[in-house]
Amino acid sequence: MPELPEVETTLRGLATYLDGQKIARVETRREGLRRPFPADLVQVMTGATITALSRRAKYGLLHTDRGVVMVFHLGMSGRWRIDPDALEKHDHLVLTTEAGARLALNDARRFGSVDLVADEALAAWATFAAMGPEPLGPELTPALLAARMKGRLSPVKQLLLDQAVVAGLGNIYVCEALHRAGISPLRQGQNVKKRELALLVPAIVDVLSESIAAGGSTIRDYAQPNGELGYFAANWRVYGREGEPCHACAAPIARVAQGGRSSFWCPACQK
């Protein structure tokens, strides 16, 4: 699944072709993705100018001069294709700008989504209202994490994946950040000390920032809008490395199932 760095990379790629551009044509090539496309999507977006592109958690936002934001989620396998030579079976939404750029939202599994939300309603939109702070923003602090983990018996790994605790963190980057901070994914949230959280917050920021700089992590179907692959997977310290030596201490990386997901960690380094 594309995670926060992949969505951020996608938006930066789209900005080159969409920022400040007018949408000349909108084509929906099926009824929707995980749920139907908004009934007025074609009407609202045709002729609209994209005034800005931004991100909230794992959602991409295309802001328009009509006071409406097109919010998209890439689901499990979604990606935007820029100026494809030909449209493919799974190109389900196509935007064409007045400048002639054609952008196709491709989603083979159709777990993604597209919504229209009024500018003034974004913060109160149910999906966003329930979310915690952005991990790359100033709101994420050791003190905030300490408050949200106080009295929590759930493992710290599960709490970090809870979008109400921190918005946008996914399995890969939580595994990597916990390793950098030396915290076991099995520890109860309430037992993680403030001094450890002081290491965890910058670890989260660093691992996300490094992945964005590398173009994200390519897993299965993900690619950047220009078709290039993300290369941060080469820098994974624990994720997907079960049985391989830890880069820090050479002990074998372990894997454990938590909440239906695999947690990768070094039992020697992470306590």
The residue annotated as part of the active site, out of 84, 142, 261, 267, is 261
What single string gives the DSSP state of each residue in 23-67? EEEEEESSSBSSSBPPTTHHHHHTT-BEEEEEEETTEEEEEETTS
Q: Which residue has the tokens 């909230």?
A: 56
Give me the catalytic one of 2, 5, 185, 225. Answer: 2
Residue in 5, 56, 58, 81 annotated catalytic: 58
Backbone angles phi, psi at 56, to 5 degrees: -130, 115
Q: Please say whether the beta carbons of 152 and 190 come within 8 A.
A: yes
Catalytically annotated residue among 3, 6, 8, 176: 3
DSSP collapsed to 3 states, 171-193? HHHHHHHHHHHCCCCCCEHHHCC
Residues with Cβ within 8 Å of residue 220, at least 6 apart in sequence = 77
Please give the radius of gyration of the chain, using alpha carbons only, rounded to the nearest integer: 20
Instruction: Reply yes or no on whether 194 is catalytic.
Output: no
Whether 81 is catalytic: no
Which amino acid is it at 264?
F
- Report how far residue 217's alpha carbon sits from residue 13's, in angstroms, rounded to the nearest whole number: 15
- Residue 261 catalytic? yes
CA 170/CA 163 separation, integer angstroms: 9
Tell me whether residue 84 is one of the annotated catalytic residues.
no
Q: What positions carry a catalytic annotation? A: 2-3, 58, 261
